[in-house]
Amino acid sequence: MTNAAGKVNLLGLTKAQLENFFESIGEKRFRAGQVMKWIHHFGVDNFEAMTNVGKALREKLNQHAYIAGPEIVTQSISEDGTRKWVVRVASGSCVETVYIPQNGRGTLCVSSQAGCALDCSFCSTGKQGFDSDLTAAEIIGQVWIANKSFGTVPAKTDRAITNVVMMGMGEPLLNFDNVVSSMNIMMEDLGYGISKRKVTLSTSGVAPMVDKLGEVTDVALALSLHAPNDELRNKLVPLNKKYPLSVILDACTRYIAKLGDKRYLTVEYTLLKGINDQPEHAEQMIALLQDVPCKINLIPFNPFPHSGYERPSNNAIRRFQDMLHEAGFNVTVRMTRGDDIDAACGQLVGNVNDRTRRSERYIAVRQLEDEKRELSS
């Protein structure tokens, strides 16, 4: 990403991209490691602070590059320790990042788009439509901001952020290249050194891109399922009309098979009172997932204004969980965290100008772009 002066933002560059950048300005490739460590381990955004970089190179960097994350608009802290940042991106829209501390683990939920085109009926983000893809700098910048806020620099010392989930605003697989680059920085030792098992990408079911993901990375995968049959899922997750359950589960199973090493798919299922929380839905889910290596994460619905949905009773949640347990599945119920600051799952809403509202149009355009790339490769 370049600014008006033609300078390159180094924050969003992978190690390989940084090496290419240094070659392009007539410098040795090893400089990439030095600068990357300053940016991500120490949170530095000023070349003058890079004490092992010579003065002449610092001056050259100031001429050709800069380091900048998204603008922090607000930071909120919940009574349970959950934190939420609202940050403004280049499009002018705001997106949200959430940090969830639990049982000695710190999970950062990162956004990949401003708004979302998929319009899942129970998700507040989907109600605002799609505005823009985030750049790699805007995605990894959320990790950079959160890490610095805890004062845990170097990044691998007394680490507050142990896990990252691409489960914030947007569909990560519809911003493929920027999301993959950002995840590579998360896992890079000169970046944040987070294990591939602790970086998770969550998708609503863009099946062709799941296969493409398996060609370039081996991060953990989560599927936002939310319904055990196509008829219901078509209503809750409109993308299902294009990629029905059989298609997306086959793609996810292929991805997990490539990983090997006893890896599994995380299945996310938001429980909606009277909609998808009945015993027959549990029975259908058992049949649907019987041959899929997975663990199931049940998410009681987190209310937001005008959603039209309600949270099931604790008895209904427990009954659903017990049925899955008895069928041999590993099932957890996600504890609601940060709902007092609207940071709970499904509640993220940024200040987004609704430019499309037509998920089918957006997805069709992105697929056409992907097909063009495949034909030219």
Q: Is 345 a catalytic residue?
A: yes
Pair of tokens at residue 45 = 């955004």
Is-contact 164 202, C-beta < 8 A? no
Quick one: which of 213, 108, 116 has its CA closest to 155? 108
Given 120, 123, 294, 345, the catalytic residue: 345
Cα(353)–Cα(125) distance, rounded to whole angstroms? 12
Cα Rg for the chain, rounded, in angstroms? 21
User: Catalytic: 109?
Assistant: no
What tokens were used for 150?
A: 């805890």
d(CA 301, CA 310): 7
Calpha distance 170→162 (Å, rounded): 22
Residue 247: both structure tokens together: 């298609």
The edge-to-edge listing of strands for the beta sheet with 199-203 is: 71-77, 83-88, 94-102, 105-109, 163-166, 199-203, 220-224, 265-271, 294-300, 330-333
d(Cα 73, Cα 80) in Å, to the nearest integer?
Answer: 22
Within 13 Å, how many C-alpha atoms sit on residue 301's CB side? 25
Q: Which of 19, 96, 138, 171 is catalytic?
A: 96
Q: Where in the sequence numbering do the catalytic residues fall?
A: 96, 345
